[in-house]
Amino acid sequence: MSALSAFSRALLVALLTALSSGFIGSAPALAESVVAPPAATDAAAEEKDVPPPASPPPVEAPVEVRELWTGSLYTSSFRVGMCASAQGAVRGVLHLRLANGQVDVYHFTGTVKDNAIEASHSSGHTFRGRLSAPDKVEGTINLKNGMKIKLEGKRIQDVPLAPEDCAPLPE
């Protein structure tokens, strides 16, 4: 594996993890279910010739929080689409644009808890980070060869992402 390839993979994992970290402090709480008042009985409704009250539609809780993280590292730039569930599961896709214009794509999974995020790529690279400000994340990518890369990313909340894998949409 070339140094650039290992670096690209490590950067991807770190970025994905960093993005996940941003979700920690901002994930909206699941909406509580709405309990409808007891409906009038049919007999009471017939007596008054008034239809029973309609129960309100159920409130749907958000399935995942969606964010986009962007930044640069050395001569590459990254865009990370991150989805986080209310239970703390994180998944996403990192697009790493190299200096030559080539875009490497990395899928990752992980967890987020108490403003800390951990994510990994199937190659063995990992990311550990945290939300350092409402619009910023920082962390470290640990390559499977032992190399560590520190990075920072900008966080943009409530963005549309590809529904099937949380990938960033084309610019």
pTM of the predicted structure, to 2 decimals? 0.63
Distance CA 165, CA 160 (A): 12
Residue whose C-alpha is closest to residue 90's, from 3, 165, 142: 165
Token code pair at residue 122: 């199937």
pLDDT by residue, tens only, the chain of 171 residues: 444 344 444 444 444 444 444 433 333 333 333 334 444 445 544 555 666 666 666 656 557 899 999 999 889 999 999 999 999 999 999 999 999 999 999 999 999 998 899 999 999 999 999 988 889 989 998 989 999 999 999 999 899 999 999 999 988
Residues contacting 22, CB < 8 A, separation 6+: 67, 69, 82, 131, 136, 137, 153, 155, 157
